[in-house]
Amino acid sequence: MPVIRVKEQEHFPSWSEINHYGVNYLKVGQEVPLHYHDCNEYWIIVSGRGICTTEGDSYEIGPGDIVLTKQGDEHSLVVTEEMTAVYIYGVLPPGGSIGYRYRDTARQETAQS
């Protein structure tokens, strides 16, 4: 059973259904803009509260909740109480990339520069 450290994420075994993860520490009022990914993404809320929008619906989220977002579904977050959340990216399809993608091409170009 391998242990993967945040700084050694290139070492996931081939059988793993995870290809990237991290911990976010978010402040009140912080916003994660509407975006999508080339893979499924999972957020596990450790502490704090927020309002996430996914698949066009908004949800209040808090400690113990998990948000499941399918590959290609746009989602966003507004933090209403200081939050700690673990995010996990699923398996990338061939040619896929880690990170935020935007349907708004102007935002995509800004993010890449």
Q: Residue 86: pLDDT above 90?
A: yes
Annotated domain spans of the chain: 16-112
CATH fold for the domain made of 16-112 = Jelly Rolls (2.60.120)
pLDDT tens digits, residue range 2-29?
Answer: 888 888 777 788 888 998 999 999 999 9
> Which band of pLDDT confidence, cut at 50, 70 and 90, is reported for residue 113?
very low
Query: What pLDDT, on the 0 to 100 scale, is given for residue 64?
Result: 98
Other Cβ atoms less than 10 A from the Cβ of 99: the count is: 11
All residues at 6 or more sequence positions from 66 whose CB lies less than 8 Å from its CB, including other chains: 42, 43, 44, 45
Calculate the CA 99 to chain-centre distance.
Answer: 8
DSSP 8-state code for residue 9 = G
pTM across the whole model: 0.85
